[in-house]
Structure 1
Amino acid sequence: MDSLFKVEVISQTPEPQRSIYAAMHQDYAEGFVWDDRDRFPSEERCGEIIVKSLLAGNRGHYGPLEHPQITVNCGFFPHSTMQQIRTHRVGVSFDVQSFRYTGKRIIDVVEGTRDIEEVFYLRPLGSYTDRQGKKYDYTEELRQQDVEWCLTACKRYQERINQGFAEEHARGLIPFDVRQHWVMSANVRSFMHLLDLRWKADAQLEAQHLCELLWEPFQGWVPAIAEWYETSRLKKARLAP
């Protein structure tokens, strides 16, 4: 995995499994469930009930899972990964770094104050296979050619900015996989939807790496649901709930 890829939690609904339990309980409770909040089961027990009553046996009643929300900061991923993730935005909100306002780091590369691979992503050396099964090798020589191409593009970007070009015009000259940061919020259901689609064996490598980093905070946040998901759905390419 690329050493710069990172995911950090900004905020999350406390006791998310109790929130889901409350929503589920209100579906069939005669009374106003808020009045019974002091008698709700523990967070751990609520998780067990959710798995048994909502998830086990593919019952498919995912509505209560939409109440708790987690917000994360995803950093240093290539632009292409952001596009892949943002495509599946059902129940997910994004605020993505704009290259209309954040072009200084492109110029930093030219001035030698920032490493080029901190700004642009290139895949690691190794053997790869395309979607048709054709194999190829990404060698040190080829990768260095790509590093040089990124540097050339940075110089052209700087030149156009110095000529008075707007950032949104000049950014069209930089390589596609410039690294990009974004803030993303998802509820429990949409989080699993994203993992279903982007942690499959045929998903693009960088998207799979993002899912690996997202998985750890998800496990810590809703442990009972994560345990069920790991057993029932993880990397099984099932239709997203």
Structure 2
Amino acid sequence: MKQFRVDLIAATPKPQLCVYLGMHQDYSDFFVADNRQIWPDDKKAGEICIRRLLAGERGHYGPMEHAQIVFNVGWFPHSVMQQARTHRVGVSFDVQSMRYTGDRICQAAEGNLDIEEVFYLRPIGNYINRQGKKYTYSLKQRNEDIKLCQLAVKRYCELINSGFSEEHARSILPFDYRQHFILSFTLRALLHFLDLRSKRDAQLEIRELCKLIWPHIESWVPEFASWYKKKRLHRALLAP
């Protein structure tokens, strides 16, 4: 999992102030932009939002949609993208396509790229399936799986070189080829995503994605992050 990566691309400046102003306009007679001289700083705005929007599980999450953040996510398996897009999380995705990005497959077939740069296999160790059954993924089993991946990339290149289209050739590849993608969240959608995917029984790899996203949240919206960590993180409480 050491290859997994999350980089920040862009984020709303003063995000907690943006949430505060959205909330404040809801119940203010005046036009809030005309009163910039009395706007709180971002930290104070975050503290006010926690008290008025979130404390006591009031669930008034609407103003949190005014703050947005964009990540570049890399080297995660395809299964993470499949899980990330379910449950109407309100996230925008742009995903590396296996229709246009097959050159790396042939590089792996030619030995110019490590096979594990292209495919993801879980680390060796002990695991539990969804029914609670324990099992072991051994080094021997993992090496056999690597051999299967190597056979698949060679076959892929044979098909491409004989004139097959990429979308046809990709059908013989192992399911968990690695993909890079862009994720765009509102603050509301981001916390809802964590509600779903950082819980203890979520897929191992998507929990790793949440772990890599979390430091960015703490830097971007520290007051919201502090409240969320105390009240909701890993508890599978779904956002309204």
Is this a same-fold pair by TM over 0.5? yes
Mapping 1:4-153, distance limit 5 Å: 4-153=3-152
Question: What is the CA-CA distance between 1:133 and the residue it aligns to?
Answer: 1.1
Aligned match of 1:154: 153
Once residues 63 and 25 of structure 1 are traced to their aligned partners in structure 2, the CA distance between those partners, rounded to angstroms, is 12
Query: TM-score w.r.t. structure 2 length?
Result: 0.98
Gaps of 5+ in 2: none
Q: Is the 8 A contact 1:88 1:194 kept in 2?
A: no
User: Aligned AA for 1:238?
Assistant: L
Once residues 87 and 102 of structure 2 are traced to their aligned partners in structure 1, the CA distance between those partners, rounded to angstroms, is 27
Q: Is the 8 A contact 1:97 1:180 kept in 2?
A: yes
- 1:182 partnered with 2:181: yes
Aligned match of 1:202: 201
CA 189–43 in structure 1, closer or farther in 2 if over 3 Å, else same: same
Aligned match of 1:233: 232
User: Aligned AA for 2:141?
Assistant: L
Residue deviations 1:78-109 (CA, integer Å, cap 9, x gap)? 00001111224432100000010000000001
Aligned match of 1:224: 223
Query: TM-score w.r.t. structure 1 length?
Result: 0.98
Once residues 104 and 48 of structure 2 are traced to their aligned partners in structure 1, the CA distance between those partners, rounded to angstroms, is 49
User: Aligned AA for 1:73?
Assistant: N
Q: Is the 8 A contact 1:69 1:188 kept in 2?
A: yes
- 1:192 partnered with 2:194: no
Identical positions, percent: 57
Q: Does 85-94 or 73-82 show the bigger shift?
A: 85-94
Report how many aligned residue pairs link the two structures. Answer: 240
Q: Is the 8 A contact 1:94 1:183 kept in 2?
A: yes
Once residues 89 and 226 of structure 1 are traced to their aligned partners in structure 2, the CA distance between those partners, rounded to angstroms, is 22
User: Aligned AA for 2:53?
Assistant: L
User: Aligned AA for 2:227?
Assistant: W
TM-align CA RMSD: 0.8
Any runs of at least 4 consecutive aligned residues in structure 1 with deviations exceeding 3 A, and if so which?
none
